[in-house]
Structure 1
Amino acid sequence: MTNPNTTTTVLATDSDSDGHRPQVAGATVAFRTLRRAFGATVALDGLDLTVHPGELLALLGPSGCGKTTALRMLAGFEYPDSGQVLVDGRDVTAVPAHRRDTGMVFQSYSLFPHLNALDNVAFGLRMRKVRTALRRTRAAELLDLVGLPDHGSRYPHQLSGGQQQRIALARALALRPRVLLLDEPLSALDAKVRLTLREEIRRLQQELGITTLFVTHDQEEALSMADRVAVMRGGRLEQCATPADLYARPATAFVAEFVGTMSRIPGRIVDSGTVEVLGRRLPLDGGAPAAAAGEVDVLVRPEAVRLGHDPAGQARVVATAFLGAVTRVTVTLSDGTSVKADLPTESAAGLPPGSPVAVTLPDRPVLVAPRAA
């Protein structure tokens, strides 16, 4: 679908004699102790975060955690009460939006309804007074890059939602920004289109080597697309790590429960490094809070839970959900605690609802959290 020479051609600028511009590496972006409050609401509370050149970093968190505020500060649409925004070491905190080398794609497509797709893509180039022939050539190449080479004459109302968002992406790339900002660009699309477009965005980002910040509340999007994921809560950074590290080694109970599925099983800390749960003692994860002996909840992923049919078992199967190669089995412990386990579908077939089962955990460190009320 993509012309292998497209990347070079797209980098053309009107000021070069040969119509081409050498490729420029993605920028380093840094947020330094950013703070922003809206009245009594603190949107950012001392955010410190660095995005590496050419990296796709996802800002993930619940509504109101500050992720969109951080993105808008990088774009120049918001200004901090204190702190700095740096691009390649240059302080751009007070630089107006139109003078920052960024491109932004919004949740809403924000296309001009009176312009066709080609002219929408070329709009920023026209504002930069790029020659007509060159801007139309570059816009056509960008349409090819996003997989819509034959849609240049169509107007927004003639395009599907996914096609409109591809046009918006091409428009953001037209000025060849060093930083691309994506503010929940897939949330308005249906599931199948969302899956296809997130793969396309990732392919384009890697092909162009552009530093990208992607804001989302969808953990699946963040984990499948990003080089690293920054999980935010209440205006603060909880953890920034690769998707694999974030899932396997969450730094806090909030991250553990926000990223992926997690069951809480009652336990009791017996010393500084051990917790008793389901009748056995397990080592505490290094990220677990230091605590004296007392009741806690042990946080466990579904794939770590082991089930076995046992007439004298301490749990009973209450539901199963087919997920393809695995089946998610929900059991209830004798104290009413609900626990989820992911089993090979073939194994789960022998555990229909109502089956008595024994629940065990592997002998490896576990994360704990304060006992839920």
Structure 2
Amino acid sequence: MTTTATTAHQSPPAAETRSGGVGLRLGGLRRTFGTTTALDGLDLDIAPGELVALLGPSGCGKTTALRIIAGFETADAGELLMGGEDVTATPANRRDIGMVFQSYSLFPNMTAAENVAYGLRVRKAPKAERAERAAELLELVGLPGRDKHYPHQLSGGQQQRVALARALAIRPRVLLLDEPLSALDAKVRLQLREEIRRLQLELGITTVFVTHDQEEALSMADRVAVMKDGRLEQCAPPSELYERPATPFVAEFVGTMNRLPGVMGDERTVEVLGQRLPVHGDCPDAGHAVEVLLRPESLRVSAGEGGKPGAAVTADGAGPGEAATVRVATFLGGTTRLHLTTASGAEAKADLPSWEAGSLTPGSRCTLTPHDHPVLVEETA
């Protein structure tokens, strides 16, 4: 089955734009390194004040895109507009961009205040202005009283806060974040991503955030741009990306996805687990064998064997489901994930509220039925 890569929602919805920032347009950006194509005609519009996360596997081009925005890399083709101005050939030091790296990159011989004020010093701002701005930003990022501390006297989370304050000190038009939280432990990551989002909303600064962490992208961004092989697969708000992925790649990359065997029916429907479901996206001809993509929470599990393998679908589309056996039950707090095998031999994962899953222990016989939602399908080879 052929899928379409550059799908809808590359441009931000007008209602979601915020004042205070500057818009970005990446138009047909292409970048190669020898025989490797890092970017292959990347198109993306970012609204003023919007936070967009670039998400994708290693080598998909997200860091290259960020470096081109920063001016550290030059595109082979395409254009970069900032606030409507073509800055494709503008040197990095004239783009008014703040950048926070994965490694904190603080000057070890400078205090926190001196690190924050460094960009202003380079711009020859008066000493009093530098000191005032540094104190203001250290307060803003939650580090009052740490102005005279050196980097080695600060924790990793505190050092990253100083790096963020330094990037904001010059009042940049755009803020770029290159996996800034990946070196921190889980608790600090959670605290700092909430802090970054709060600051970004408060300041209204246009922000591009590169991450490989799906949870970070979905929890922080106004929109998430999923990339593959240097191209944009889909750019959409987190809920839309998760609930209505445009391609099988997006569906499987963002969150957990089951692949279950099905057969195409008439009128853009597919028969799976004894149920007829509507199909969105590319749709093979009726009668073709396909794999149906279903989220774990889109599967209903009932104790007892009400369903049978290959059960017939009723005229109204409802079906009795398919018999299955619980292999593993993993308690995850409020949710329990069941690993099941259907009577026809397919493997599936289903997420249930833990209070519903208490009787579904390993070895339990049950019935597996999908909820009636549109699904993506992919034709089997």
CA offset digits 1:90-147 (Å, max 9, x no partner): 1111111000011000000000011010100000110000111110111011000000
Is residue 117 of structure 1 aligned with residue 126 of structure 2?
no
Does structure 2 conserve the Cα–Cα contact (< 8 Å) formed by 1:272 and 1:290? no
What residue identity is the alignment partner of 1:279? G
- SS at structure 2 position matched to 1:140: helix
1:190 aligns with 2:199: no
Residue correspondence of structure 1 range 66-105 to structure 2 within 5 A: 66-105=61-100
Secondary structure of residue in 2 paired with 1:348: coil
Q: How many residues align?
A: 348
Unaligned runs of 5+ in 1: 1-23
Tell me the alpha carbon deviations over residues 138-169 of structure 1, each in whole angstroms, 9 at most, x when there is no partner: 10110000000111111111111100100000
Find the residue that maps to 2:289 and give its secondary structure: strand
Q: Could you list the per-position Cα deviations for residues 274-333 of structure 1 after superposition, in whole angstroms to 9, with x for gaps in the alignment?
A: 111112322212x23444531111011111100111146521111112222221111112
Q: Deviations over 1:44-84 (max 9, x none)?
A: 00000000000001001111101110010000000111000
* TM-score (normalised: structure 1): 0.91
Name the counterpart of 1:329.
Answer: 338
Q: Which residue, out of 362, 365, 374, partners 1:365? A: 374
Match of 2:294 among 300, 307, 315: 300
Name the CA distance, whole Å, in 2 between partners of 1:110 and 1:337.
49
Correspondence for 1:218:
213
Q: 1:48 to 1:117 in 2, by over 3 A?
A: same
TM-score by length of 2: 0.89
1:106 aligns with 2:101: yes
Mapped contact 2:100–2:164 kept (Cα < 8 A): yes
Instruction: For 1:252-263, list aligned pairs within 5 A.
Output: 252-263=247-258
Gaps of at least 5 residues in structure 2 are 1-18, 308-322
One-letter code aligned to 2:44: L
2:174 aligned to which of 176, 179, 191: 179
Q: Letter of the 2:39 partner, please give it.
A: L
Q: What residue number does 1:41 align with? A: 36
Q: Retained in 2: the 8 A contact 1:283–1:365? A: yes
Quote the Cα distance in structure 1 between the aligned partners of 2:151 and 2:68.
29
Alpha carbons of structure 1 residues 160 and 319: separation in structure 2 relative to 1, 3 Å:
same
The 8 Å contact of residues 26 and 179 in structure 1, kept in 2 or not, is answered as yes
SS for the counterpart of 2:355 is helix
Equivalent residue for 1:349, pick from 350, 354, 358? 358
Give yes or no for contact 1:267–1:298 (8 Å, CA) kept in 2: yes
AA in 1 matched with 2:236: A
Distance 1:64 1:205 in 2: 27
Report the aligned-residue RMSD: 1.3
Structure 1 position 288 matched with structure 2 position 282: yes
Q: Distance in 2 between matches of 1:291 and 1:58?
A: 36
**Which residue identity does 2:50 align to in structure 1?**
E
Q: Which residue of 1 aligns with 2:14?
A: none
Structure 1: which 4+ aligned runs deviate by more than 2 Å? Answer: 288-293, 311-314, 334-337
